[in-house]
Structure 1
Amino acid sequence: MIMLDKKWWHNAVVYQIYPRSFQDSNHDGVGDLAGIIDRLDYLQHLGINLIWLSPVYRSPMDDNGYDISDYQDIAAEFGTLAEMDQLIAEAARRDIRILMDLVVNHTSDEHAWFVEAKKSKDSPYRDYYIWRKAGADGSPPDQQRSYFGGSAWEYDAASGEYYFHLFSKRQPDLNWENPQVQEEVHRMMNWWLDKGIGGFRMDVIDLIGKQVDQQIIANGARLHPLLQQMHQATLAARDVLSVGETWSATPDTAKLYSDPARRELSMVFQFEHITMTHDTKEGKWKPLPFDLIEFKQIIGKWQTALADAGWNSLFWNNHDLPRAVSKYGDPGHYRVESAKMLATALHFLKGTPYVYQGEEIGMTNVRFDSIDDYRDIESLNLYHERTAAGVSPETMMAGIHANGRDNARTPMQWNSTHNAGFSSGTPWLKLNPNYREINVAAALEQPDSVFFHYQKLIELRKHWDVMVYGKYLPLLEQHPQVFAYRRSLGSQQLVVVNNFSGEHVELGLPATLHGVAGQGLISNYAQRDSWTDHLSLQPYESFAIAYVCEAGLG
């Protein structure tokens, strides 16, 4: 087995904050930077090493900050640049770095570049964006669609041309074929890096090499040269983390992004284990049942493919995805057990784990009765578009309840008081009513809570090289209820067993696992240090045992 050069982020754990929903310090119902600063001690107690901060840049908030009007200023509702500097400094005092969200596939239509681009076809900023002439009848140049519904082309009456937008019409796509765009983005990235941040999470970065006229959106021919240029201009001389959001990634293309020899990114987010539950036609709005055998095949494929050239990011949920315990576990009777199981299953894999705010206390999806209670532009646009086309409101609401982005965006549940301790004002998005039972204060009072399970997993990564660098070896690959695997690094061995069902499971084990005995590292039931040739698993039981095998497994 090839041993990768060790990086500080290999044994790190990243915590994602969605600032709007984390902590409100000024009582306006919107989370802010000062609120995050107030909660840094909590994050230090959890043990994380980085905060991935969803966008806090100046923005009209058409897409909750993913529409940026000034990359070098802070949105007023989140605070000021001075507070951003304070957050970077206060986090550093606690050995926590800040990972900024880099959104450079598109800007806001209020960005100065786009404002200037619209003034004239001769504007020096016109070519910062993607423009095409209208069809003979004034129609869009082609039939490409926006991810948020409707055409990907928006008509500009003043010039008689259309501009391209893969997301909202208020998020015009940048033209990455223009060297001036590249230079502007590189300069901005270096400005942030000079402030001492720990790197960037790069939003939909696989789209910047798009070839619009050929209708090639992801993985265009220029994508990897553009990333190599970006790396050379910004990241090459710095010890920072870069992770790309790449919905289109395969194991082969992920190696192009993350093989250190190629000098592009540290790692990518891939979504194959997410999209396996999406209908091929209706997407996430018609969720499919979770198939554990298929999931294990996907995880094994990625663990093997990136074992020696590249790096995996490990995650169940983020600001765009449903809550893990609702999607893959049991948000009801076995909420605590299944939340711990999911954490164990993920954190012992090879890669860098990402924890989304509230995951560490087992927060769940929300089920608002009315579409009017939702705020997510994607959910709202597609609800109205599809119901107008004949899809029943009940069908769309079922999809939103299962996979809508606001599941992850309800305010953080700090305690059982008014508005869960998030804000004394009216929250921008309604809270999940279960905050009275599921909250940080309650978790910190319970030694066996989901929080302390996460804390222990994070601590274990700091001390067990096999957990970070060990070879992945799947076990029980065809079992429909149990996800088990082995990690091996020389004589150091781990076995991890996870029951993904709410049933008792009796396991007859292969001969290679008979008589395993060692040190029980973590469990969500009674600690296990050994077994013979048979295992009886409780509902959602999971555990990890470390042991020494002198022969090793490579």
Structure 2
Amino acid sequence: MNGRHCWWERGIIYQVYPRSFADSDGDGVGDLAGVIGKLDYLAWLGVDAVWLSPIYPSPMADFGYDISCYTDVDPLFGTLEDFDRLVEEAHRRGIRVILDYVPNHTSDLHPWFVESRSSRENPKRDWYIWADPKPDGSPPNNWLSSFGGSAWEFDGKTGQYYHHAYLKEQPDLNWRNPEVREAMLGVLRFWLERGVDGFRVDALRRLVKDERLRDDPPNPDYREGQNPYDALIPLYSSDRPETHEMVRMMREVLDGYGERLLIGELYLPIESLIAYYGSGVDLPFNFHLIFTPWRADAVYSLVKEYEAALPPGAWPNWVLGNHDRPRVASRVGEGQARLAAMLLLTLRGTPTLYYGDEIGMHDVPIPPGRIQDPFGKSFPQLGRDPARTPMQWDDSENAGFTAGEPWLPLAEDYEEVNVARQRKDPRSLLNLYRRLIALRRSEGALSTGDYSSLGIDGDLLYYAREHEGRRLLVVLNLGSDVQSTPARGRIVLSTGLDREGEEVSGRLTLAGGEGVILRSSG
């Protein structure tokens, strides 16, 4: 890197799920004008980029991940003019804008697919993945949909099956077709011309499938009660070698517009994940913290393995929550949520925050009659709605999110857990996030410095960050009991406020769930 770091290496990304962030027109669904109205909040918090989940025209079978037009904004969220204003206003505040890019599949109502399914002879037939039935009329192979059942849907009119990795309303594009590649790379150019600073590529590992349509092998570790998709190892339906060639094409497009960020959504083992650095993904999203047990030994082992696996020059990244997984406060508990914030914002690499985690929002139980998530309707225990509920801005009706009926129920505790209340409380989780972000921004050791693992001691996890001779020691108690360890230095930030400025001259004692950052003196 020659001592120079890109903006996204120094920065912090904040994910906005637009449906749930802020509603400006009272229809109960968040929109772009709502996001614009909250940019001052994001600037106050100190984040460097806002990543928007899909805002494109869509029938909303999967809430925007089923796209019917890639080069417009769904009226539910506003207009292209609203988007342009969002980019302008964000840039004015020093905030970059990252868009979701969904290249694997379209809506079944996209004009491309309407043409493709109209006849076997249609010029766009090969824009999607079509295959003949087996002799008995069954699907071409055993590939599974992430949303349950076969990944093949029979089209009676043309007598073939089409492939869909997700809902049947989300047919997969055929990226082996050069016309598809050029059309989808044109989508990137369209948004780059409008000032977008980067893309998060949805379902990247699914982009190319086995040309011979071979069956996926059974998963010997699968157990009854798990997600049915995990019954097979997606050897032929996912993470194919040709995917990297497609990534290189995306990279080439982005490189024509200066310093633009390419993020890959990649739920993969570490050894497969890091391969995407080589093809041009700046941040192959590292979701492993979401699935790692909240124990010092497990987190220590994960960080050690990940850091050791990174190729030379590759920049790490960490994610603790997103729109598809249970919220961090629900996974680790309220008492440890402060510690999770300190971990995320002091590890080496770019952190991504999920809206609401900074105030400790938790998963909200959704009554059966209010379930919106199509996956949740099929598998209620695995539904994603609980982590997508409206942002809790204040203690007014509907938490200040909307003047109408919110599209999902609000948390019962929103009158206590909200932005307005926590902004006034110096001890709040929100202000802890803000102080951590400010310290990260001011300290090269935390933003771009080296990482040194110092090991574990019982429930204590500790590591050092160092830059140009300045060394910070991070000590986190992931347990519930009091722990102590040898340490020397001055505490510059703690998960509370009581200890900041305290000199530690031999032994550091931490309560359960407590963490500190020390300016090390030995």
Tell me the TM-score normalised to structure 2 length.
0.91
Select the residue among 378, 390, 395 that pairs with 1:411: 390
Paired amino acid for 1:271: F
CA distance in 2, matches of 1:531, 1:430: 46
CA distance in 2, matches of 1:157, 1:275: 41
Paired amino acid for 1:301: E
2:352 counterpart SS class: strand
2:442 counterpart SS class: coil
Corresponding position of 2:428 = 449
Corresponding position of 2:356 = 358
Paired amino acid for 1:256: A
Paired amino acid for 1:376: D
CA distance in 2, matches of 1:421, 1:111: 35
Paired amino acid for 2:303: I
Give the conservation status (yes or no) of the 8 Å contact 1:491–1:548: no
1:109 counterpart SS class: coil
Select the residue among 220, 227, 230 that pairs with 2:240: 220
Alignment of 1:53-72 (within 5 A): 53-72=52-71
Give the conservation status (yes or no) of the 8 Å contact 1:3–1:469: no
Corresponding position of 1:492 = 470
Give the conservation status (yes or no) of the 8 Å contact 1:145–1:152: yes
Alignment of 1:387-398 (within 5 A): 396=381
2:329 counterpart SS class: helix
CA distance in 2, matches of 1:521, 1:415: 27
Number of residue pairs matched by the alignment: 500
Paired amino acid for 2:472: L
1:474 counterpart SS class: strand
Corresponding position of 2:489 = 517
CA distance in 2, matches of 1:489, 1:82: 43
1:141 counterpart SS class: coil
Alignment of 1:148-547 (within 5 A): 148-211=147-210, 213-214=213-214, 215=216, 216-250=236-270, 252-258=271-277, 262=278, 264-276=280-292, 290-306=294-310, 308-328=312-332, 330-331=333-334, 334=335, 338-368=336-366, 370-383=367-380, 396=381, 400=382, 404-477=383-456, 479-505=457-483, 507-509=484-486, 513=487, 516-518=488-490, 520-528=492-500, 529-547=502-520
Give the conservation status (yes or no) of the 8 Å contact 2:491–2:499: no
Corresponding position of 1:286 = none
Corresponding position of 1:143 = 142
Tell me the TM-score normalised to structure 1 length.
0.86
The alpha carbon displacement at 1:41 in A equals 1.0
Cα separation, partners in 2 of 1:499 and 1:519, compared to 1, 3 Å: closer
Paired amino acid for 2:343: A
Give the conservation status (yes or no) of the 8 Å contact 2:494–2:514: no
2:87 counterpart SS class: helix
The alpha carbon displacement at 1:76 in A equals 1.3
Root-mean-square deviation over aligned CA pairs: 1.9
5+ long unaligned stretches in structure 1: 278-289, 384-395, 550-554
The alpha carbon displacement at 1:219 in A equals 2.0
Q: Decide which moves more: 445-454 or 49-58.
A: 445-454
CA distance in 2, matches of 1:521, 1:323: 25
Cα separation, partners in 2 of 1:4 and 1:180, compared to 1, 3 Å: farther
The alpha carbon displacement at 1:522 in A equals 4.1
Cα separation, partners in 2 of 1:133 and 1:307, compared to 1, 3 Å: closer
After superposition, the C-alpha distances for 1:267-297 in whole angstroms (9 at most, x for unaligned) are 11123333346xxxxxxxxxxxx44422221
The alpha carbon displacement at 1:367 in A equals 2.5
Q: Decide which moves more: 211-220 or 316-325.
A: 211-220
The alpha carbon displacement at 1:474 in A equals 1.9
After superposition, the C-alpha distances for 1:316-366 in whole angstroms (9 at most, x for unaligned) are 1011111111112x23xx3xxx33221111111111111111111111121
After superposition, the C-alpha distances for 1:95-114 in whole angstroms (9 at most, x for unaligned) are 11110000111111111110
Corresponding position of 1:31 = 30
Cα separation, partners in 2 of 1:163 and 1:117, compared to 1, 3 Å: same
CA distance in 2, matches of 1:141, 1:253: 27
Give the conservation status (yes or no) of the 8 Å contact 1:12–1:49: yes
The alpha carbon displacement at 1:496 in A equals 0.5
Give the conservation status (yes or no) of the 8 Å contact 2:274–2:284: no
Give the conservation status (yes or no) of the 8 Å contact 2:463–2:474: yes
Give the conservation status (yes or no) of the 8 Å contact 1:202–1:242: yes
Paired amino acid for 1:422: F
5+ long unaligned stretches in structure 2: 217-235
The alpha carbon displacement at 1:84 in A equals 0.8
The alpha carbon displacement at 1:465 in A equals 1.4
CA distance in 1, matches of 2:485, 2:36: 50
Give the conservation status (yes or no) of the 8 Å contact 2:427–2:497: no
Corresponding position of 2:73 = 74
CA distance in 1, matches of 2:272, 2:262: 16
Give the conservation status (yes or no) of the 8 Å contact 1:413–1:438: yes
Identity of aligned residues (%): 37
Give the conservation status (yes or no) of the 8 Å contact 1:227–1:264: yes
Corresponding position of 2:108 = 109
Corresponding position of 1:86 = 85
